Each structure stands twice: as C-alpha cells, then as structure tokens.
Structure 1
Amino acid sequence: MSDDQSRRTVLLVDDEQAITDALAPCLRRCGFVVHVAPDGERALLVHDRVRPDIVVSDVLMPRMDGRELVRRIRARGGWTPIILLTQIDVSHECSAALDEGADDYLSKPFDPQELVSRIRAVLRRASGAPRPLSAADRVTCGELVVDRVARRFFLAGRELSLTPKAAMLLDYLVTHPGELHTRERLLAALWGIDFATSTRAVDHRIREIRRVLGDDPLAPRYVETVPSVGYRFIGRSRA
C-alpha cells in the first residue's frame, strides 16, 4: 500500500445511484481512484478484482447488506479497512458491525468532506498494520487490556466494572486512538438517539470511564478532553 494517500483506491458500495453519482466524483476530486458497486455481492467481486485500499459501504442494501459484506471479507482473511454508511435510526446495526470487523461508521446525511476526513483517518490508522484494531479480539494499552470477544476490561490484572454504554464507548475509543470524536458523533455511532438534546450522556460515561481507570482529566493517560469539541483517546493501543 503506497504512503501517498492521493493514489489510494476506494470501493464505494451503495444501492442508491443518486448517492454514488454524488460521492464518486467528490472522492475523485480529492485524488482517490474510485470503483462503484450497487450491492454487497457485486462489491465482493470488485474487491477481489481491484484490491481497494478501503471500502465505503451502505448498510441496508438488497442481495447482500453491508454487515454481511464485512463478515464475508473478514471471514476470507481480508483486512481491507471498511467504513459503513447508514441512517441514524439503525445505528445498532453499525455497532454490531463494528464488533464484527468494520473500522468506522458515518450516519446519513453527512458532509462529503467529513467522509473524506474519515477515509484518510482510517487509512492512516491501518497503514502498516496487518489488520485494523477494530478487527482484533484483544487490544492492550499499557496496563489496560480489552477482551473484545467477551467485552471484558482489565487494568493491571484487575477486572473493571463498567455499565454497558461505558463499555461500548471505551471499546470504541481504544480501537480508534488519536482520533478526535465529537460528542454528537459518539452519540450517533454508539447510542443511536437524538443527540441534539442528549450530549451530556457522553460526558457522564466519560466520567465513569475515568473513574474506573483512575485517569486524571487534568493529566490524562487515556482520555483527553478537547474543549468545546469532544474527546480523544491518547494511549498507544496495540492488537
């Protein structure tokens, strides 16, 4: 895989032609080579033929949906980075797909430039790695160990007790290190609720995570607050 992101190849998968007709030219203007497929079955054929650097796929499609596409690619030993696109009201589908090996999630409607930024971030994170952190069964960060199969967390050998939402949030942060996440994005990706009136939900779970980890917000080892924006996981995560 070349270090020159402007030469990266994107496989764009969506059954709505209006979406691919709008996104494909945008991605090409940003320097990407773009191939388009209308469903998961066709996407698998194109994937095997062109070996894209990243797949951007809708979730709800006929013949083969985005989750099944993720499962098929991963089951065949393929670790091509995958970003899923879907409506916010089915974000539980994306949360499940993240567990199955997808790398990121963007809810519709979205700004095409945000998609471009997400593509570049995922490519940077995956560069040089044999498989993405989001596909790993176990992730470590110093004394923090995340058993992603059992959804169990350990710190210095001691098992941590987290509420389900805090566990989901910590897993997401650990597998997306160094990325800046707004509260709205975290709610859309992991809660699937109307985030306009619920952004404090993320703050509450972050406080829970910090309390359990013993992480000082003024001198964080794991979760950094970016004032007026959101949060970033600053630990060094390893599969």
Structure 2
Amino acid sequence: MSTMNEAAPLRRADGSAIRVLVVDDESTLADLLSLALRYEGWEVRTAADGSSAVRAAREFRPDAVVLDVMLPDLDGLEVLRRMRSDTPDVPVLFLTARDAVEDRVAGLTAGGDDYVTKPFSLEELVARLRGLLRRSGMAAARQGSELVVGDLVLDEDSHEVRRGDDLVELTATEFELLRYLMRNPKRVLSKPQILDRVWHYDFGGQSNVVELYVSYLRKKIDTGRPPMIHTVRGAGYVLKPGV
C-alpha cells in the first residue's frame, strides 16, 4: 500500500477530510477498502446492505460512494436512485462482477459515474475515486508545492516553513517529520508509523527518537502560539489547526 498516498492529498475545499461511503456485503472486502481509503486521509463509513446504505448516506453526507451492484436486499441501482433523490450530485463508483457486462452498462445508464470489476487493485480503485472527486469539484488538491494546515505553511520545493508571518527554521529531519504530520492532518500517527516514514526503519525501542524530535518541533512551531502538535496518550501524535 506504500504507493497509494504518494500523489497530492485530496481534501474538501474547506480543508476537512473527504468522506467516502463504502457499500458491500463482503465484510472482508469492505474492511480492506476502508483501510486503503483511510490511508489516503479520508473519512470512511461502511454499510452491508442497501437499506442501511441509504440511511448512512443521509446521515454521513459522503463526497463519494463505492457501491456494490449485488446487495442482499436492494440492488445497487435502486440504492443509487434513492441516494440521488437526496444528494443528486454525489459521485458513485460501482463494483461489479468481471463477467457482468449488463451490470456495468445498467449502472452507467442509471447514473453511476464509473465502475471497477472484481477482483480489482486497491491502487486502481483509489485512483478512480480521486478522478471522480476532482471532476465533481468536491475536492481540492494542495496548491503547487505547499502544504497548508491552519496558519502553518510548508513549501516542499523551497523547504520554507511559516507559522503565520514568522519564518520557522528547521533541520532536514524536523522538516521531514513536519511534512509527514502535515500530509496527514487530524490523523493520529503512531510512533512506529512515524519511525517508518521519517527514519525508514522499523520500530525497535526507538520511540525516544520520535519523542525528542516532536519536542524540537513543538518548540519551533507551537511556542507562544495555540498548539498544533498534540499527544494522544497511548496512540501517538496528531497535528491539527491551533484554536
């Protein structure tokens, strides 16, 4: 799954996480899809049948839906019809059986935006969803080389970091740590994850390295300002806009 998150992260226009509803009665597949989409930094909700999918869509207000054609109660086409009566513009990606050509034709004719056939690669499905979200105007990629969270701005090309009007001087490792946090705003990142992505080695009693560099970042980013780097006890660290 290491290649999935290399493209520019998609967010809602207001900076909040993309919401995706996954509808499939195969729990193993639904769980796998949820994991892949959460890895993108998106918020995910699942439903195992058509009726609960329609209810979830009303409550969750997703930006996109991954919808299996074959469900135990309502079929995917009926679910699409009911969803579209509430949210007519929500993009829908159908999951169909490889040999069910009529399902693919019917799904697109009924107003589905795209489809993938089972079995499929997670990379392909995520790429298709990203394309749907961009075309629908529901999401915005980061502009140019900048990552922006609240009043914190990191330029990946110039390696400049600013908090408000202040330029923040960082070492190369501090920069990489902050970049990883800013690519995953509002997402709790564990010490093993941070070690793997920033230092490129497995967790092996080296949590003190993460703690040390987080403390360095806090002194440079948060001192005298509303804190952005937070410790989630027993889980890791999360970066979110200061209040």
Normalised by the length of structure 2, the TM-score is: 0.50
Alignment of 1:6-45 (within 5 A): 7-45=17-55
> Is 2:69–2:94's contact at 8 Å kept on the other side of the alignment?
yes
Q: Deviations over 1:28-55 (max 9, x none)?
A: 0111100000011100000000100000
Distance 1:7 1:16, change over 3 A: same
> Is 2:21–2:46's contact at 8 Å kept on the other side of the alignment?
yes
Q: Whole-Å Cα distance in 2 between the matches of residues 128 and 26 of structure 1? A: 20
The corresponding residue for 1:109 is: 119
Q: How many residues align?
A: 129
Which residue, 77, 80, 85 being the options, matches 1:70?
A: 80
SS of 1:45 mapped into structure 2: helix
Q: Whole-Å Cα distance in 2 between the matches of residues 54 and 104 of structure 1? A: 11
Q: What amino acid sits opposite 1:74 in the alignment?
A: R
Q: Deviations over 1:112-149 (max 9, x none)?
A: 011110000000111169xxxxxxxxxxxxxxxxxxxx
Distance 1:107 1:91, change over 3 A: same
Distance 1:8 1:125, change over 3 A: same
Distance 1:77 1:117, change over 3 A: closer
Q: Deviations over 1:160-207 (max 9, x none)?
A: xxxxxxxxxxxxxxxxxxxxxxxxxxxxxxxxxxxxxxxxxxxxxxxx
Identity of matched residues, %? 42
The corresponding residue for 1:51 is: 61
The corresponding residue for 1:87 is: 97
> Is 1:86–1:107's contact at 8 Å kept on the other side of the alignment?
yes
Higher helix share: 1
Q: What amino acid sits opposite 2:52 in the alignment?
A: R
Q: What amino acid sits opposite 2:19 in the alignment?
A: T
The corresponding residue for 1:234 is: none
The corresponding residue for 2:176 is: none
Gapped runs of 5+ residues in structure 2?
1-10, 140-243
What is the deviation of 1:74? 2.4
Distance 1:125 1:17, change over 3 A: same
Gapped runs of 5+ residues in structure 1?
130-239
Q: Whole-Å Cα distance in 1 between the matches of residues 64 and 37 of structure 2? A: 12
SS of 1:7 mapped into structure 2: coil
The corresponding residue for 1:124 is: 134
Q: What amino acid sits opposite 2:24 in the alignment?
A: D
Q: Whole-Å Cα distance in 2 between the matches of residues 4 and 122 of structure 1? A: 18
Normalised by the length of structure 1, the TM-score is: 0.51
Alignment of 1:183-198 (within 5 A): none
Q: Whole-Å Cα distance in 1 between the matches of residues 69 and 113 of structure 2? A: 13
